[in-house]
Structure 1
Amino acid sequence: MAVVMSISLFSGVHKAEAEAQLNVNADGAILVDGESGKVLYEKNADSLLGIASMTKMMTEYILLDAIKHGRVKWDQEYSVSDLVYKISQDRSLSNVPLRRDGKYKLHELYEAMAIYSANGATIAIAETIAGSETNFVKMMNDRAKKLGLKDYKFVNSTGLNNSEYKGSHPGGSGDSDENVMSSRATAKLAYRLINDFPEVLKTASTPKKKFREGTDDEINMENWNWMLPSLVYGYEGVDGLKTGTTDFAGYCFTGTATRDGKRFITVVQNAKNDSGKGGYKARFDETRKMFDYAFSNFTKEELVPKHYQIKGNKTLPVIKGKEDSVKIYSKTPISMVVLNGEKGNYKPVLVLDKKKLNKDGELTAPVKKGEKVGYIKLVPKNGEKVSFLTEEGQQKVEADVVAANDVDKANWFILMMRGIGGFFGDLWDGISSAVKGWF
């Protein structure tokens, strides 16, 4: 439980918050700050829509987590299953053909998936981690729940329509089922992926690579993310993340870009051009709108400085201590991405940890320097709600409030004398009141 107090830190008239007139032409779209997950723009962000190969972000997440915890290793070899062989040989799908009797290291399969969206390689990764793709799909849905995603359903590891498995799709779903997520859930997955495993961007930003270079199986892989700076729709700062296309999902893209210390994440689902037609260019054009808007209109600002003391709340009372109060301040500064000119729209709200206080709002000695007594969060003065993809992200724009110095516990003699003093003080107050009543 917490005690909440609003404190006015900023003065003056702040600029009214600008409305984003982006008109993103997609069934679903979202723009978020890549550091905190603060939502900056959204359109139908909670609608359940097809995601196609953006699915592979979840496969990447589970793989990188398995590598981190030693459950699999980059250099371990995979022997091709009948299903993987059959899928990988279908060049109407995005693939690197895998030999029936071939052995492939996990890392090269990962690169084929992350750079070229290779579907056979993706299933191979799923089989390596979980034994079968059916088992892996259960892991995907379980992981989505653990990550706090809403509005999702995974039926395979690739993002293909189940019908493209030609009767060999994972169990538990229908022949024509396809993976679905909302734009918000997709952005949240991307946010967790690049923050939990930032190394994914090194691979995702690779524009071109040769699969099995120097062998008879050498294949040129060009990244499907054509917004990478050296590719056809290049955009400065883009270094990820994943495209997706099926008849059901349309043209989709989860992008991320960084410039001048700012990172943004975008999602478009079933993007179309001004004529209402989907296409590769459409998904990148609609993404560009959001990136242009973000980099031109948002700035990361320090809204609360380090060691900030709140006017009227610079101290907290302390009982049983050598001193009767302790100075408190913010442990760290608070910085947040805000619309240009909007810095003054935010006020800090102090939230005290009620578990630390007695019923009279006092701390009990001893109090240690640096001991957390609460935190500061930021609230728009205009009453508009600010949303974040994750609670952890929101905490990045909060600051702990801590004790600035030690307050040692008073010894028994001091406490006794205070008690005596208090007794006689109360007695004198009582006598004074009685005497005044006589006149």
Structure 2
Amino acid sequence: MLKKLFATVVMSISVSAFAVPFGSQSVLVVEDDTGKILIEKNADRVVPIASLTKLMTAMVVLDAKQDMDELIEIDRSDVDTVKHSSSRVPVGALISRRDVLQLALMSSDNRAAAALARTFPGGKEGFKAAVRHKIAVLGMTQTVIEEPTGLNPRNRSTAGDLVKMAAASSKYPEITAMTTESKDLININGREVEYRNTNRLVGAKGWDIGLSKTGYIQEAGRCLIMNIKAGGKNATMVLLNAGASSARILDALNIRRFITGEKAPVVARASNRAPRYKASSSRARIKASAGKTKIKAVKKRSKTKVVPKRRKK
């Protein structure tokens, strides 16, 4: 048994050698087809999730099967009075629910997300009840979502729970399509206005992205949920509380390099804790920290299929 464990460690040296500190304070990367954890750092830490919230908003709106062609009027009550974030969606504009959902997901517009909750069956209270039910159904036991935009720092979750949310979101064709559009023209008061994706990697050369959502408020830092295909694998990554957009992007680049087997990281970022890389064997995990390596035996996890200004969110 010890010989087998030692062999596993030896085979995993190339994995731990790749290990670099991440700029994101919480990181979780899961291989979709097997449910195997590839990278894990503070995945159970409960933190604000900012506009990652909008994936949940989109799911409950789509679950309600409302008329997506119905025109929604953007109301003054939809304006952000919490963080005073900007919006290019004017009060009084009449926009189809489908386009309002597109604005909330692709360009992370807060007025759009607020309008979706306001016009939900039963209003804002009906929306909150639907969110609570969806959280329970998905088994997101460490998650609380109180409003639709993510502007409130009391919207909190863990990287582990957010992988579940990503898996559920990826089953909605509308969500995967809208979050992976690099830009789109939206009819605003009879005029075509171009809106762009808040994730700069969407549409970038070399990236095959199946789901994407960014988030930012000061309390949450820069956040990202993304499903990617790389090195013949489908993987979902959750990055929480990066100090800057550049750190979030570099973390994503390093994760893709790890998945594809490239050895050299793009850059090393400062972090208060090194990430844990799942070894090639499901029986052992290598944990790098403070220049020494600890070996910890773990049970094989059951397989779960995970499919996957302008102020940057």
Fold conserved (TM > 0.5)? yes
Tell me the TM-score range normalised by the shorter chain.
Answer: 0.7 to 0.9
Shift of residue 383, structure 1, vs aligned partner: 5.7
Match of 1:210 in 2: 185
Q: 1:95 aligns with which of 87, 93, 98?
A: 87
* Letter paired with 2:54: K
Q: TM-score, normalised by structure 1?
A: 0.55
Identity %: 22
Counterpart in the other structure of 1:16: 11
Distance 1:159 1:285 in 2: 24
**1:148 partner amino acid:** G
- Contact 1:205–1:240 (Cα < 8 Å) also in 2: yes
Unmatched segments (≥5 aa) in structure 2: 1-6, 263-277, 284-295, 308-313
Q: Is the 8 A contact 1:225 1:240 kept in 2?
A: no
In structure 1, the partner of 2:99 is 108
Quick one: which of 124, 128, 134 aligns to 2:125?
A: 134
User: 1: distance between equivalents of 2:26 and 2:189?
Assistant: 43
Is the aligned partner of 1:268 residue 2:255?
no
Instruction: Decide whether the 8 Å contact of 1:57 with 1:242 is kept in 2.
Output: yes
Contact persistence 1:204–1:241 (CA under 8 A): yes
Q: CA deviation at 1:123?
A: 1.3
Amino acid at match of 2:11: A
Q: Which has the larger radius of gyration?
A: 1
Tell me the equivalent position of 2:143. Answer: 152
Deviation at 1:36, TM superposition (A): 3.8
Secondary structure at the counterpart of residue 24 of structure 2: coil
Give the SS at the match of 1:190: helix
Structure 1 residue 393 corresponds to structure 2 residue 284: no
2:119 partner SS: helix
Structure 2 distance, partners of 1:346, 1:127, is 46
User: Aligned pair in 2 of structure 1 residues 160, 189: CA closer, same or farther (>3 Å)?
Assistant: same
Match of residue 223 from structure 2: 252
Q: What pairs with 1:420-431 in structure 2 (closer than 5 Å)?
A: none
Contact 2:231 2:259 in 1 (8 A): no
Residues 1:37 and 1:22: Cα distance change in structure 2 (over 3 Å): farther
Aligned to 2:201: 227
Does the aligned pair in 1 maintain the 2:29–2:37 contact within 8 Å? yes
Q: Which whole-Å deviations, capped at 9, do the CAs of 1:197-251 have from their partners, x for residues lacking one?
A: 24422211111112217934x4321110111133xxx552134311001010011
State whether residues 26 and 239 of structure 2, in contact with CA within 8 Å, keep that contact through their aligned partners in structure 1: yes
The residue identity in structure 2 corresponding to 1:212 is: N
Q: Structure 2 length normalisation: TM-score?
A: 0.76
SS at match of 2:236: strand
Of the three residues 298, 302, 305, the one matched with 1:384 is 298
Higher relative contact order (CA 8 A, sep 6+): 2
Two-structure CA RMSD over aligned residues (Å): 3.1
Q: Which amino acid aligns with 1:110?
A: L
Aligned pair count reads 271
**Aligned residues of 2:100 and 2:116 also touching (Cα < 8 A):** yes
Report the Cα distance in structure 2 between the residues aligned to 1:106 and 1:156, rounded to whole angstroms. Answer: 18
Q: Deviations over 1:139-182 (max 9, x none)?
A: 21221111011211112110013xxxxxxxxxxxxxxx531111
Is the partner of 1:104 in helix, strand or coil?
strand
2:59 aligns with 61
1:200 aligns with 2:175: yes
For 1:40-439, list aligned pairs within 5 A: 40-66=38-64, 71-84=65-78, 86-87=79-80, 93=85, 95-100=87-92, 102-161=93-152, 177-194=153-170, 196-212=171-187, 215-216=190-191, 218-230=192-204, 235-259=206-230, 261-271=232-242, 278-296=243-261, 342=280, 384-387=298-301, 392-393=304-305
Closer, same or farther: CA 392–257 of 1 in aligned 2, 3 Å? closer
Per-residue deviation at 1:136?
Answer: 1.2
* 1:76 partner amino acid: E
Cα shift at 1:92:
5.5
